[in-house]
Amino acid sequence: MSRLHIRSAQPGDVALILGFIRELAEYEKLSDQVVADPAQMTEHLFGPRPFAEVLIGEVEGEAAGFALFFHNYSTFLGKPGIHLEDLYVRPSARGTGLGSALLSKLASLVIERGCGRLEWSVLDWNEPAIGFYQRLGAEPLDGWTAYRLIGPALNELSQKTI
């Protein structure tokens, strides 16, 4: 097994994080949707009010993957949770255990921070990821459909008055 190391991202990692995001988007066939820029990412990850955190996964001292996550809150549990927004391991590092190590570190953060759950979404067609998650013991949330407001629809809703 390769030597793995998981560390918290630092401001100097922003270009690396954006690179991982672009690689993930290419894999997911969503490259046209990546509009994040370094200044914005730096502010949102390391500014006075961070909105998300990032773990960097290294294999033999080389950055090879990342996990970007943020806290949410479960009203039913009455506890915070962690939502994993992105998990990506470069193809050359797949099979090294890095993906499992990143998720293991996230699971330990859930416990350390007194959270009630770790959640994420996966594209329906991504069978390798689905199989990986199921091997870890994760279960799909049957009966739930994700919704999203962006662009004009979000702007229009924000302008509605009561």
Which runs of consecutive H residues, i.e. helices, occur in the chain? 14-27, 38-46, 98-112, 127-135, 151-158
- CB 45: neighbour CB atoms within 10 A? 19
Asked if residues 112 and 99 have their Cβ atoms less than 8 Å apart, the reply is no
**Catalytic option among 27, 73, 88, 133:** 133
Dig out the tokens for 22 from the structure. Answer: 């672009």
Largest CA distance in the chain: 59
| Structure token digits, residue 122 | 């996966």
How are strands ordered across the β-sheet holding 62-74? 4-8, 53-59, 62-74, 79-89, 118-120
What radius of gyration do the chain's Cα atoms show?
Answer: 17
Whether 133 is catalytic: yes
Report the catalytic residues: 133
